Structure 1
Amino acid sequence: MSKRIAAKYKIDRRLGENLWGRPKSPVNKRTYKPGQHGPTARPAKVSAFGAQLRAKQKLKGYYGNITEKQFAGLYVEAARRKGNTAENLIGLLECRLDALVYRAKFVPTVFAARQFVNHGHVTVNGKKVNIPSYRLRVGDVVQVREKSRTMALVLEALDSPERDVPDYVELDVGAMKATFLRVPELADVPYPVKMEPNMVVEYYAS
Structure 2
Amino acid sequence: MTKRLSSKYKIDRRLGLNLWGRPKSPVNSRNYGPGQHGQKRNKPSDYGLQLQAKQRLRGYYGNINERQFRRFYKEAVRRRGDISENLIGLLERRLDAVVYRMKFVPTVFAARQFVNHGHVLVNGQRVNIPSYLVKEGDLIEVKEASREMALVMAASQSSERDIPDYMEVDHKSMKGKFVRTPQLADVPYPVKMEPNLVVEFYSR
**TM-score bucket (shorter structure):** over 0.9
2:75 counterpart SS class? helix
Indicate which of 70, 73, 91 corresponds to 2:71.
73
Map of 1:111-130 to 2, 5 A cutoff?
111-130=109-128
CA RMSD after TM alignment: 1.3
Aligned residues: 204
Residues 1:46 and 2:44 aligned together: yes
**Distance (whole Å) between structure 1 residues aligned to residue 5 and residue 131 of structure 2:** 21
**Distance (whole Å) between structure 1 residues aligned to residue 166 and residue 2 of structure 2:** 32
1:116 counterpart SS class? helix
Residues 1:36 and 2:25 aligned together: no
Residues 1:194 and 2:192 aligned together: yes
Deviation at 1:7, TM superposition (A): 2.2
Q: 1:2 to 1:128 in 2, by over 3 A?
A: closer
Q: Counterpart of 2:179?
A: 181
Q: 1:2 to 1:28 in 2, by over 3 A?
A: farther
Contact 2:50 2:200 in 1 (8 A): yes
Deviation at 1:32, TM superposition (A): 1.4
Map of 1:1-206 to 2, 5 A cutoff?
4-39=4-39, 41=40, 43-206=41-204
**Distance (whole Å) between structure 2 residues aligned to residue 37 and residue 6 of structure 1:** 24
Contact 2:2 2:109 in 1 (8 A): no
Gaps of 5+ in 1: none
- TM-score if structure 2 supplies the norm length? 0.97
Q: Deviations over 1:81-126 (max 9, x none)?
A: 1100000000000010000000000000000000000000010000
**Distance (whole Å) between structure 1 residues aligned to residue 89 and residue 69 of structure 2:** 13
Contact 2:102 2:163 in 1 (8 A): yes
1:143 counterpart SS class? strand
Contact 2:51 2:198 in 1 (8 A): yes
**Distance (whole Å) between structure 2 residues aligned to residue 190 and residue 11 of structure 1:** 19
Amino acid across the alignment from 2:34: P
Deviation at 1:38, TM superposition (A): 2.4
2:202 counterpart SS class? helix
- TM-score if structure 1 supplies the norm length? 0.96
Q: Deviations over 1:11-32 (max 9, x none)?
A: 0000000000000000000011
